[in-house]
Amino acid sequence: MRLIIMRANRNKLLVSLLFFILLFSSPLAHSVPSGVGDIGDDGCLCHGAKSQSTSVIIDGIPQEWAANNSYEMSIIINSSIEISDEENARIGGFRLTVNEGTVIFADNDSAQVINEGYTHTSSGNQYRQWNFSWTAPSSNDSVVNFVVHGNAVNSNEQSTGDAWNYYSTAVAGEGYTGVIGESPNYSDEIQNSEIALLLFAVISLVGLFYYSTK
- Band of the pLDDT at 192, cuts 50, 70, 90? very low
Regarding whether 169 and 143 lie in a shared domain, the answer is: yes
Task: Give every CB contact of residue 56 below 8 A, 6+ residues apart in sequence.
Answer: 75, 76, 77, 78, 94, 148, 149, 150, 164, 165, 166, 167
Regarding whether 133 and 48 lie in a shared domain, the answer is: yes
Of 47 and 159, which is predicted with more confidence? 159
Q: Residue 92: exposed, middle, or buried by beta-carbon count in 10 A (0-12, 13-18, 19+)?
A: buried
Most confident of 15-29, 109-123, 198-212: 109-123
The chain-wide mean pLDDT, for the chain, equals 78
Residue percentage of the chain with pLDDT more than 70: 62
Regarding whether 54 and 17 lie in a shared domain, the answer is: no
Give the Cα separation of 128 and 113 in Å (integer): 18
Structural domain of 134: 35-183
Regarding whether 56 and 4 lie in a shared domain, the answer is: no
Regarding whether 109 and 40 lie in a shared domain, the answer is: yes
Structure confidence at residue 22 (pLDDT): 42
CB 123 within 8 A of CB 110: yes
Regarding whether 60 and 16 lie in a shared domain, the answer is: no
- Tally of domains within the chain: 2
